[in-house]
Amino acid sequence: MAVALRASEGVLVARYLQFMLDFMAARGVSAEQLLADTGLHADELRANPDYFVSLPAILRTLQNLHRLDTSPTLSFELGATFNIGSHGFLGYAVQASPNLAEALLLVNRYAMTRTQLLQISFVPDGDAVMLEITDQGLLGPWFPHLIEALLGSFQVIAFELFPDFSHDGVSMQFSFPEAPQHVLLRLLVQDRLQFDCAVTRIKFPMALLARPLPRSDTQLAALAAARCAEELEHAEARADFLTRLRRLTQQHLADANAQERVAASLNMTPRTLHRRLQQEGLSFKQLLDDLRRNTAANMLRHERMAIGDIAQSLGYQDQANFVRAFKRWTGSTPSQFRKA
């Protein structure tokens, strides 16, 4: 069996790649073409849908996918093939929940059983709730494509749950620039759409979250949630290198010698850590920047700390350097972001 599939450091369950193979087969792309240079094989994905696939294999598959099919709406179309059942026991638990609020709490709790590429969290905001999605610094230029696929899946699931689903009151913000294919999103939420923001988030009105789900089933929800809990235990026990790396880096955001301290905690030299990250297609600076960007956005939004204190907590001795970095990340200064 391929190392890429058996990897203890996997970041995405194999079933999603199998769906991708089926989707692309209908568009005339073979499994061999899509999985070229990944170390993966279609029969292994089909036989082991709940195995986790390594990050390098995922990134190579994404490269192949968008090289072989350059349609700008490809990611949306792919995501739209993922219904509730595509997401395993988590999907069944969501479907059987009493209301959308409880369903989203399950997603928050058990998303790690499906992927470690993204971190999903929920933040109350008055009479609404914001779903925030961060990329853990792993996806680089592929993050927008994964978000588009998620939105395609969300759209299908929303209409599965509520045939009369409406986007009224739903707004979206994205941490990447607008592209031509995003006109599809503007058709859904009109002017409630922003790009080049510090974080990616979707805002739901509380009234929508309180709606009862038509297939609510207390017993099925409990059984599915129990299976999700078992899968989460296994996922956490398998805590991969990248997960440990992100956690350690988060602890050392303010340290001038962050890379050295993180390497020491991993029982590595800084040079070994550098080589290991190169193998994953990453750099420590990229990871550090992404974590600082996400942390800064959360602190500006939810805390009353002075901007200078936020800068210092993130390792910037000079506030001006932090302001320049934040503007490079988001297109706005920390003060402008806080007022928005």
10-residue averages of pLDDT along the chain (340 residues):
50 91 97 94 89 86 96 96 91 90 85 83 82 80 93 92 89 92 93 88 88 90 88 66 80 90 90 86 85 84 84 92 91 86
H-type helices in 215-333, by residue range? 218-237, 241-251, 258-265, 270-279, 284-302, 307-313, 319-330
For the chain, state the CA radius of gyration. Answer: 20
Asked if residues 293 and 329 have their Cβ atoms less than 8 Å apart, the reply is yes
- Collect contacts of 156-160 with beta carbons under 8 A, ≥24 apart: 156/79, 156/80, 156/81, 156/82, 156/83, 157/83, 157/84, 157/91, 157/94, 160/83, 160/84, 160/95
Task: Tell me 213's DSSP state.
Answer: P
Task: Tell me 94's DSSP state.
Answer: H
Task: Tell me 113's DSSP state.
Answer: G
Interacting residues of 230 by C-beta distance below 8 A, sequence separation 6+: none
pLDDT at 27: 96
Distance linking the first and last C-alpha atoms of the chain: 51
pLDDT at 7: 46
pLDDT at 236: 63
Distance CA 221, CA 97 (A): 6
Supply the pTM of this predicted model: 0.73
pLDDT at 198: 77
Helix, strand, or coil (residue 286): helix
What tokens were used for 289?
């920047």
In the block, which residue shows the tokens 């959308």? 100
- Beta strand pairing status for 171-173 and 119-125? unpaired
Asked if residues 6 and 59 have their Cβ atoms less than 8 Å apart, the reply is no
In the block, which residue shows the tokens 């099919």? 69
pLDDT at 299: 82
Residue type at position 80: A
Phi, psi of 103 (to 5 degrees): -65, -45
Interhelix angle 241-251/258-265, rounded to 10 degrees, is 130
Phi, psi of 97 (to 5 degrees): -70, 155
Asked if residues 290 and 143 have their Cβ atoms less than 8 Å apart, the reply is no
